[in-house]
Structure 1
Amino acid sequence: MYSIFIRSSVFLLFITSLSLWAQATDSQDAPRPRPANMPFEVDEKKRLSERDIKNKKEGGYFTGLPLVNSDPNVGIGYGARVIYLNNGERNNPLFEYTPYRYRIFAQYFNTTKNAPYHWLSMDAPYIMDTKWRVRADLVYERNPNSLYFGIGEKTLQPLSYLERNDPTGRMIRNAPFADYEANLHYRRPGDAGIGEAPYVTDSRYNRYDIENPNFSFSGEYSFFGGKVRTVTGMRLSKQIIRTYDGKTYDAKFGGYDQLGGFPLSFLDTDKEIATPHGETRVSRDERDGKINGFKGGYTNTIRAGIVYDTRDFEPDPNRGLFLEYTHERSAKAIGSSSEFNKNLVSGRIFMSPVTWFTRKPPELLEKLVVAARASLIQTNGDAPFYEYRNMWGTETNQSGLGGRTTIRGYKQDRFVGQTMGFANFEIRWKFASVDIWGQHFDFQLVPFYDVGRVWDETKMVNLQGYKHSRGIGFRIPWNQATIIYVDYAKSNEDSQAFVNFNHIF
């Protein structure tokens, strides 16, 4: 425990030193008169830019979004989200200091691979003109294609497979993910000693099915003009785990499928036959005593955190710093099936470098933002295997390393461990904007770079052996607070495209 606080403190001091550079332009801004009748002090760093205030809609309004989502791991998503945003009246003194006064949305969502994510959410900054902020989320999610490659530094090893899944075949190393999974689709002789059928497939060897209804709630209280917030909250959830061992799936003929000594695999390479599934990775690790939580259970946690935040506009910042430390405790005394705790320390920085040279840059460069984030997460205790991937931040929940919100060039949860670290770097350039039927749209081009890795113990954290990905993104801020998101990312192992909502940080 002591080491995580030492390392977290060093990390935060590094990010804080960068903030002096990021906020160097604050003193260059011409002073604007503060709104009259402020209910309490809010720091000027939290104030929206003149451009954002001008484009901000007044009062309440609905946006109804058809959800069209693409994620290689769960398929093409479809559904709808109905959002109600209320910005308050323009003459309200907090109008210039909040992304909105409150936001409520309801979402129905499913995918072509049957991974539903239904969500009811509420967020209210400075609720009822107090220093409190309230957030609440009710979610039902299920992912029958959850990935599991084990826990710890061994997951960092490049993928390898036996050609055509043949035990006597050639070993292929440093394999692309697509080739790796394609070769697991072939039949192989089963292992009777662990209860496998005579012939099995491994097409879902690294997958399991998790169902997770959950509710979370938090309250935040502001200090020092809104720059510091303390956070307390809770999570109530249930996890139902299903595996694919012994279930029947179509598989290609393997090298051991023969008729009169002639390999059937060469008769028709596209021919498939119904075949029982062999032992999956998660079942093997449970049999070897490497993991907890194989049968699922309840995860109820108490949460606490502290935030330092000088961003000017939360959904799409131009400048500022965001630092947070969170702690999450799961205990049987509050109904959990296991005892563990998690610590997260994270920092984000946003800089508008053109404003270093001029307060009113050319329109084509008025919003050019350099954005970076770094996070370190530690899990202690008897955590179930599916909890190592979960990362609770005061604004966002994330899952594992890989996927849309961490290292975008790798599959979701590709790397999971007792300690996880990652960083993201983006350049967000608004190159155009338009107003249509009373709606304001910006258009941003976003090149990015991601890096991260896992460790077996926190004391082993170092600057070596990281995984990398890079890519290009396209973002459409709609009335500023709703961000439509398209990213394409590539790594040494994979390439992926994502369509979703909101910046990843």
Structure 2
Amino acid sequence: MRCTWHWPWLIAGVLLVTGICHASETETSYFFLPIIATSENGGNEYGALPVLVSRDENDEIRTIVAPMYVFNEFLGSRASLNLIGFPTDDSDYRLIASYTETIERKLVARYRNYFFGHPRVTLEVEGGFFKDATARFFGLSNKSRQSDETNYTNQEGLMRMTLGYQLTDHFEIQLTERFRDVDIHRGGIDSLPFIDDTFPLIAGIDGATIVGHRVGALYDSRDDRDTPTHGTLMTAFAELNQNIGKDIGATFQRYHAEYTGLYPSQLSERFTFVTHAQIQAVFGDGVPFFEQSSLGGETTLRGFGVDRFIGKHSALLNVEERIQILKKRIAGTMTELEIAPFIDVGTVFDTFGSDTFDRWQINPGIGFRGIARPNVAARVDIGFGTEGAAVFAGLDFPF
């Protein structure tokens, strides 16, 4: 499914957030944005977004409150509330609540604290419930066909907690426990077949309840967590998962390694070369399709919708050049605009053999970024794949 080209308005709106958030010298700013947006899976949306931004005496953002109303071409009216807070320099929280006319519901919260009762202890907790009525499945493997596209509602309850301990200023060990309960229901896209009609035997079609136990390590030398300009982030983990629901007793393992490097140009601070690579392997029988490795979406292959390619293992490489085109002080706060041409390359596969990497997906594209350090990095990324173009927007960097 090709996206509809409303992205110029979306770019203008997202970049406007960065400037207006700091346009007032008072502690609180109000502004209003029209919404004309699109996504590869979710379709077109039109609506309004009033935003309230509160700042401290140092002009740093502490709270963002953003109620929103949109009309979605597939699901009808949606009302939502987005709440983002930075109570201290070492903690943040996010709450998203929404109610949609057809099927979809969401209540998800996340809290992070990098100084949890001790200078070297970190905590991250996330939990919630949601229904996504525009989820897609094309089959397994990197050779899945666009003509096999199906739709379903992903109903999910989740809870995840990560406790970390910093052995040094840059190196941290982590323990994570996660719970995920998934049910598959008929979706909200009437023009597409239901997944159960096309793939009735796929593992996970009856849902699953997963409990995961993870041990990991993290190395982070970046100069900032949210808006870095240089440094390296490396993560790795091993995870044992148990299906305690529909297929009681089934277990599988997941191994993951990821690298992000930011390299400023020695000739000009306006240029930063960024590389991101990850490899993931999942081993076990009867692994639900939604627990396998996947590519597609705003942090992997940006020329495709979320979870376009699914297989047990995946390999990914992203490279982009972040080019500063404007740096201007607005009401005492420095605001930056960037463009970021990029290339995403990735594949999914089920076995490590001679033909493992014989069919890579290659997605060129360009990103538009608005940055108000240290809190806000608004972005719009446009990727091009073999099935058309995809547009993604957010309030963070993709990696």
- Partners of 2:341 and 2:231 in 1: CA distance: 20
What is the root-mean-square deviation of aligned Cα atoms in Å? 3.4
In the alignment, structure 1 residue 316 sits paired with structure 2 residue 210: no
Find the counterpart in structure 1 of residue 64 from structure 2: 63
- Partners of 1:385 and 1:242 in 2: CA distance: 15
- Partner SS for 2:219: strand
In the superposition, relative to structure 1, how do residues 65 and 434 fare at CA in structure 2: closer, same or farther (>3 Å)? farther
Q: How does 1:39-438 map to 2 (within 5 A)?
A: 57=58, 61-65=62-66, 79-87=80-88, 100-109=89-98, 115-155=104-144, 159-160=146-147, 206-223=150-167, 225-243=168-186, 249=190, 280-286=194-200, 289=201, 291-332=202-243, 337=248, 338-353=250-265, 356-357=266-267, 365-381=268-284, 382-389=286-293, 400-436=294-330
Cα deviation for residue 134 of structure 1 reads 0.6
Q: If each structure's helix is expressed as a fraction of its own residues, which one has the higher value?
A: 1
Q: Deviations over 1:283-312 (max 9, x none)?
A: 4433xx4x2222113111111111122111
Indicate conservation of the 8 Å contact 1:70/1:498, yes or no: no
Question: Which moves more between the two structures, 301-310 or 60-69?
Answer: 60-69
Indicate conservation of the 8 Å contact 1:326/1:343, yes or no: yes
Q: Deviations over 1:100-124 (max 9, x none)?
A: 3111222224678764443211111
In the superposition, relative to structure 1, how do residues 316 and 461 fare at CA in structure 2: closer, same or farther (>3 Å)? farther
Question: Which moves more between the two structures, 434-443 or 316-325?
Answer: 434-443
- Partners of 1:127 and 1:319 in 2: CA distance: 26
Residue identity opposite 1:346 in structure 2: E
Residue identity opposite 1:309 in structure 2: D
In the superposition, relative to structure 1, how do residues 82 and 373 fare at CA in structure 2: closer, same or farther (>3 Å)? same
In the superposition, relative to structure 1, how do residues 471 and 117 fare at CA in structure 2: closer, same or farther (>3 Å)? farther
Find the counterpart in structure 1 of residue 351 from structure 2: 457
Question: Which moves more between the two structures, 78-87 or 142-151?
Answer: 78-87
Cα deviation for residue 383 of structure 1 reads 1.3
In the superposition, relative to structure 1, how do residues 466 and 102 fare at CA in structure 2: closer, same or farther (>3 Å)? same
Q: Output the TM-score relative to the length of structure 2.
A: 0.75
Q: Output the TM-score relative to the length of structure 1.
A: 0.60
Indicate conservation of the 8 Å contact 1:57/1:479, yes or no: no
Cα deviation for residue 242 of structure 1 reads 1.0
Indicate conservation of the 8 Å contact 1:63/1:83, yes or no: yes
- Partners of 1:236 and 1:153 in 2: CA distance: 28
Cα deviation for residue 81 of structure 1 reads 2.2
In the alignment, structure 1 residue 485 sits paired with structure 2 residue 379: yes
Structure 2: 5+ residue stretches without partners:
1-56
Q: Deviations over 1:93-145 (max 9, x none)?
A: xxxxxxx3111222224678764443211111132342111111113222112
Structure 1: 5+ residue stretches without partners:
1-55, 88-99, 162-204, 252-276, 358-364, 390-399
Indicate conservation of the 8 Å contact 2:210/2:245, yes or no: no
Q: Deviations over 1:412-452 (max 9, x none)?
A: 21111011111111111232244545655322211111111
Residue identity opposite 1:296 in structure 2: G
Indicate conservation of the 8 Å contact 2:209/2:244, yes or no: no
- Partner SS for 1:339: strand
- Partner SS for 1:233: strand
In the superposition, relative to structure 1, how do residues 310 and 292 fare at CA in structure 2: closer, same or farther (>3 Å)? same
- Partners of 2:165 and 2:357 in 1: CA distance: 36
Indicate conservation of the 8 Å contact 2:208/2:243, yes or no: no
Residue identity opposite 1:104 in structure 2: Y
Percent identity for Structure 1 against Structure 2: 19
In the superposition, relative to structure 1, how do residues 440 and 243 fare at CA in structure 2: closer, same or farther (>3 Å)? same
In the superposition, relative to structure 1, how do residues 335 and 154 fare at CA in structure 2: closer, same or farther (>3 Å)? closer
- Partners of 2:185 and 2:336 in 1: CA distance: 43
- Partners of 1:137 and 1:335 in 2: CA distance: 24
- Partners of 2:121 and 2:70 in 1: CA distance: 34
Indicate conservation of the 8 Å contact 1:71/1:497, yes or no: no
Residue identity opposite 1:62 in structure 2: T
Residue identity opposite 1:457 in structure 2: T
- Partners of 1:317 and 1:334 in 2: CA distance: 41
Q: How many residues end up aligned between the 2 structures? A: 342
Indicate conservation of the 8 Å contact 2:237/2:257, yes or no: yes
Q: Deviations over 1:51-97 (max 9, x none)?
A: xxxxx94888223345699999999986332222144xxxxxxxxxx
In the superposition, relative to structure 1, how do residues 59 and 493 fare at CA in structure 2: closer, same or farther (>3 Å)? closer
Indicate conservation of the 8 Å contact 2:97/2:107, yes or no: yes
In the superposition, relative to structure 1, how do residues 449 and 59 fare at CA in structure 2: closer, same or farther (>3 Å)? closer
Residue identity opposite 1:220 in structure 2: G
Question: Which moves more between the two structures, 429-438 or 328-337?
Answer: 328-337
- Partner SS for 1:226: coil
Q: Deviations over 1:176-221 (max 9, x none)?
A: xxxxxxxxxxxxxxxxxxxxxxxxxxxxx51111111111100111
Indicate conservation of the 8 Å contact 2:204/2:289, yes or no: yes
Find the counterpart in structure 2 of residue 20 from structure 1: none
- Partner SS for 2:143: helix
